[in-house]
Structure 1
Amino acid sequence: MENKRTPEIRFAGFTDTWEHRRLGEIAADTYGGGTPATSNEEYWNGNIPWIQSSDLTENHLFGVAPKKHISESGLRKSATKLIPQNSIAIVTRVGVGKLAIMPTQYTTSQDFLSLSNLKADVWYSVYAIYKKLRGELNAVQGTSIKGITKEELLSKSIFVPQIEEQAKIGKLFKQLDDTIDLHQHELTTLKQTKQGFLQEMFPAEGASVPKIRFPGFTGDWEERKLGEVIDNQYNGQTPSRENTSFWEGDINWLSSGELNRGVVAKTIEKITEDGRKSANLKIVPKGTFVMAITGLEAAGTRGNCAKLGIDTTLNQSCMALYPNEKLLNSSFLFQWYRKVGQEYGLQYTQGTKQQSYNAELIKKLPIILPSVSEQILIADFFDSLDNLITLHQRELDALKETKKAFLQKMFV
């Protein structure tokens, strides 16, 4: 029979069963909070950190940066308390379930209960409590959680090993989160770097040359209409949903909702050859630029596009563009449209309820172009940046999955 008092994965040398402990037993002291009168300026902008729920980030258990500070008089004249360093601040009302270790003394709003002077390793405790609260909140997902009382929180229990094992587990998860933070920072920096280059390597509005160019290229870029530099356009259809023989085949079928402003590597649905024939669908080859042409009224879908990493058919909300290769490089078109797509979606689409493009509107979209040889260098540069961003995103996702698995297997 499985032992529910030991985890599936342990550090070598530890065999003792874990003890069941209530949070009220782990914390020697607990503190609530309060808010000094906001109308009294003397209570604010002092040197004492004061945190509110919005200062904490979901699933992030340290590194809280208080946005507000209170004064000594604000501390004395309100219900808030000065809480010792290395306490765990837990949100019990708005944003219930968020928590973090606070390495220095601090105060909080009334939305918190803080656990202090812990009789357990602080890092082990914060991850164990996080896992406990996440599990309970996920179990009631979709239900409105207005808050949790002090008594309810302190009555909750976790399993606790001996202190040496606690310290090892806490240190491991802190190192995992530090690594995740580092990868997140690198990913954010890469994305910001890319945005900077997009601004500098394409001409600004009203300009005919960019601020940054590859060596050897001079002269103005030329403004054209898309219809002048593409040979063809194509949008697809949806085979009848009523005919089951048209679906679950081996031919990719792409919908506009799957356009990810990146490279499409797979489709959610596939059709059969009979389904393809029934809707007279063409196979659009890998490397083609595809843009969304309907449902562009929402900021999240306006400017949606992709470069195909697979051969696929399309639904009626996707438009494939086939450039004249002597005038326009497909990868350059993709990078350019990612830059201007949201703005163009506001300027050039039609419709009152659902903003849309059609083939003639697309032909009228302005594009400013250098020579094809310069286009290729620019596209290759941004493709390389995209590949690096994708690699960092995969590494970050893998680290998060590793942490998730260890949370399941290293705690009871």
Structure 2
Amino acid sequence: MMSKEKRRVPKLRFPGFTEDWEQRKLGDFYTFKNGLNKEKVYFGYGDSIVNFTDVFHNRQIYSSTLKGKVCVNKKELENYKVKEGDLFFTRTSETIDEIGFPAVVMEPMERVVFSGFVLRGRAEKYDPLANIFKSYIFFTDNFRSEMKKKSSMTTRALTSGTALKEMCFSYPKDLEEQTKIGEILLSLDKIITLHQRKLNNLKLKRKALLQKLFPKNGEGYPELRFPGFTDAWEQRKLGEIFEYLQNNTLSRDSLNYKIPNIKNIHYGDILVKFNEILDGSNKDIPYINPDLDLSKFSKSLLRDGDVIFSDTAEDDTVGKAIELQNVNAPFILSGLHTIPCRPLIPFGKGYLGNFFNSNSYRLQIRPLVQGIKVSSISKSALKDTMIKYPKNLDEQEKIGSLFQSITKMITLHQRKLKHLQIQKKSLLQKLFV
């Protein structure tokens, strides 16, 4: 007995829709055209233009979102004119992962053309897809995977109208079902955008406070201060009030996340993973492999209040510092390309981690950095940098506490944003065939 033909339906579907989806090639409905190529002198004024960034960063294109301008003549305007319903794909980029990103023109356009970095798809006779649906259907894993296979890569990644015409996609014939799918994804995108905006605002607020809560170079008072504190701040060299501890040079191969042992702070994690205050119980701190002899580091086990600098980086993050808190068993060591140090006088909890990443301190580090491709800073250079602090520990702790609360809010929004992005990715796979 012959097996039944497999139905072409999505895993997740709105009630009331039961028909199989149609499978067709893009070329069955859309003709593709390369965009306008002009010399740089023509850009910056004139008519609006749909650029690579408009397509890559937006699923839907509106007149209000277009930022670029280009001067064109009447013939060019007619040949490269944009209209509602046009489907755009990114055509060329430095990486193949950025090729074939779609966006759809969602409203009538007046005097708008499109650039040579994108491809325009236009349905001359019949367009089977609702605009809002069209802006999401080409983000499934299957379509993205096929897009990469059909794109070429030499000095730049490139796709073409010929390749796009052969790309297959599936869709429901019922426009109401298309609209429902598009609307639920659009509403999720709006929530994601809202959380991204809140996250960006919190980061900007934190950046502003890092500039205002610590004195600028040559000044003894900060621009912004908690009520009740009026004394001038102290200023001392790092070498006068800190002692250096010993770090190890263990590579990633000597670390793991499964076998409990002494933990290790790698410089790469300081630069990428960790905030200014690092909780010793953080699960992202790896363990040192148990077969290694660490006896010579017994006097360099870290404790609360210790500070670790990253002494190298491939960009201007060199010298980024973290302050350790809640260091309990298992103990922690400072690893490859790090400079661990311990304050010889008391500091308020959370103060140092934020001061060392403020403009007041970072501006001191920049002239001391050496290297071209890889930047580095030495222990001897750090010794002469100046540390500014209020003598009152309560004021220090208030500063640390304020930044801690902002960091917690940033982390909360980052987690929520990541959850929403995972949810969207899941829906993109389940709502489409």
Per the TM superposition, whether the score is higher than 0.5 is: yes
Residues 267 and 357 of structure 1, relative CA distance in 2, 3 Å threshold: farther
TM-superposed CA distance for 1:202, in Å, is 1.2
CA shift in 2, pair 1:331/1:39, >3 Å: closer
Residue 348 of structure 1 corresponds to 368
Could you tell me which residue of structure 1 aligns to residue 132 of structure 2?
123
1:251 & 1:127 partners in 2: Cα distance? 48
Structure-2 change in CA distance of 1:121 and 1:287 (3 Å) = farther
Cα contact 1:323–1:329 (8 A) shared by 2: no
| Matching residue of 1:302 | 318
Counterpart among 136, 155, 160 of residue 146 in structure 2: 136
Q: Is the 8 A contact 1:253 1:315 kept in 2?
A: yes
Q: Is the 8 A contact 1:49 1:66 kept in 2?
A: yes
Deviations 1:277-312 (A, max 9, x none): 34534432355432113x24x325412222336642
Deviation for aligned residue 1:391: 0.9
Q: Which residue is equivalent to 2:170?
A: 159
Letter in 2 for 1:392: H
1:321 partnered with 2:341: yes
Q: What is residue 263 of structure 2 aligned with on the other side?
A: 252
1:347 and 1:31, CA in 2 relative to 1: closer, same or farther beyond 3 A?
Answer: closer
Hey, what's the Cα distance between the residues in 1 that align with 2:336 and 2:418? 33
Deviation of 1:114 (Å): 2.1
Alignment match, 1:45: 45
Pair 1:16 & 2:22 matched:
no
Asked if structure 2 preserves the Cα contact closer than 8 Å seen for 1:225 and 1:364, the reply is yes
Deviation at 1:160, TM superposition (A): 0.6
**Cα distance, 1:31 vs. partner?**
4.9
- 2:239 aligned with 1:219, yes or no? no
Amino acid at match of 1:88: L
| Partner Cα distance (1:135, 1:198) in 2 | 43
CA–CA distance in structure 2, aligned partners of residues 107 and 402 of structure 1: 35
Aligned AA (1:285): R
Helix, strand or coil at the partner of 2:350:
helix
- Residue deviations 1:211-270, cap 9 Å, x none? 21100011211211123333x33232146999999x944332221111045044234632
The answer to whether the Cα contact below 8 Å between 1:235 and 1:318 also exists between their aligned partners in 2 is: no
> Normalization by structure 1: what TM-score?
0.84
Letter in 2 for 1:270: Y
Q: Is the 8 A contact 1:289 1:331 kept in 2?
A: no
Secondary structure of residue in 2 paired with 1:382: helix
2:60 to 59, 62, 68: 62
Q: Which residue of 2 aligns with 1:381?
A: 402
Structure 1 segment 2-401 matched on structure 2, within 5 A: 3=6, 5-27=8-30, 31-35=33-37, 45-46=45-46, 48-58=47-57, 60-62=58-60, 65-70=65-70, 74-77=73-76, 80-94=79-93, 96-104=99-107, 105=109, 106-116=112-122, 118-131=127-140, 133-137=143-147, 143-144=153-154, 146-161=157-172, 162-230=174-242, 232-238=243-249, 248-259=259-270, 260=273, 262=275, 263-264=277-278, 265-267=282-284, 269-272=286-289, 275=292, 277-281=294-298, 282-285=300-303, 288-293=306-311, 295-296=312-313, 298-308=314-324, 311=327, 312-326=332-346, 328-340=347-359, 342-349=362-369, 355-358=376-379, 360-371=380-391, 372-401=393-422
Give the length in aligned residue pairs: 400
- 3-state DSSP class of the match of 1:250? coil
Unaligned runs of 5+ in 1: none
Per the alignment, do residues 2 and 244 of structure 1 end up closer, same or farther by CA in structure 2, a change over 3 Å counting? farther
Contact 1:124–1:169 (Cα < 8 Å) also in 2: yes
> Which region of structure 1 is more displaced relative to structure 2, 180-189 or 248-257?
248-257
The structural deviation recorded for 1:76 is 2.1
Cα deviation 1:343-379 (Å, max 9, x = unaligned): 3433335679762322x44332201111222111111
Relative distance call for 1:368 and 1:38 in structure 2 (3 A) is closer
CA contact (8 A) 1:34 1:78 kept: no
Distance 1:307 1:142 in 2: 47
The whole-number CA distance in structure 2 between the counterparts of 1:93 and 1:354 is 32
Question: Sequence identity, in percent?
Answer: 25
The AA in structure 1 aligned to 2:159 is: I
How far the C-alpha of 1:20 sits from its partner, in A, is 0.3
Change (3 A) 1:224 1:63: farther
Q: Is the 8 A contact 1:287 1:310 kept in 2?
A: no
C-alpha offsets along residues 298-345 of structure 1, whole Å, 9 cap, x if unaligned? 32541222233664222142233322453x335211101111464343
Q: CA 1:141–1:39 in structure 2 vs 1: closer, same or farther (change >3 Å)?
A: closer
Are 1:35 and 1:108, in contact at CA under 8 Å, matched by a contact in 2?
no
Following superposition, the deviation at residue 141 of structure 1 comes to 9.9
Query: How far apart are the structure 2 equivalents of 1:196 and 1:89?
Result: 39
CA RMSD of aligned residues (A): 3.4
Amino acid at match of 1:99: P
